[in-house]
Amino acid sequence: MKRLRYILVSMLGVALLIGAAAVTVAFAHEQKAAQQKTFVGHVVDLACYVGHGSIGEKHRECATTCAKAGIPLAILDQKTQTLYLPLAKNHHAPANSDLMPFIEKDVVVTGSVIEKDGMKAILLEKIEAAK
């Protein structure tokens, strides 16, 4: 009888730990309310733009090389000059693959803006070439 009680209590304890872990994971990935935004921007490679201000058609080949090497791409809002780090819908995948066709080009971006610790990001919902 004691053994059966020990097994049942142990199983209950394991079930509670698994439940607590599941709740923790769910809340860890919960996002704050994000603001929906659409803007015209310019796709830049983060290292060259932030490091030495490189931007534009003449920089496209270098930016493509950087992106292929794993340097993140970013989107510069043309109106506000705000730099956004793009996030893919699948948060386990880089957004670079979505942006590669638009390197050093103007785009119209729609997504949810997220700000944390002074950094602005946009969860990409739609991106297309600007007209």
Per residue in 96-111, pLDDT tens? 989 999 999 999 999 9
pTM of the model: 0.74
- Whether 75 has a pLDDT exceeding 90, the answer reads yes
Helical spans, DSSP H, in the chain? 2-28, 46-52, 60-68, 96-99
Q: Among 109, 94, 88, 90, which residue's Cα sits nearest to residue 43?
A: 109
How many CB atoms lie under 10 A from the CB of residue 67?
22
N- to C-terminal Cα separation, the chain: 77
- Whether 6 has a pLDDT exceeding 50, the answer reads no
The bridge status of strand 119-129 relative to strand 83-87 is parallel
- Whether 61 has a pLDDT exceeding 70, the answer reads yes
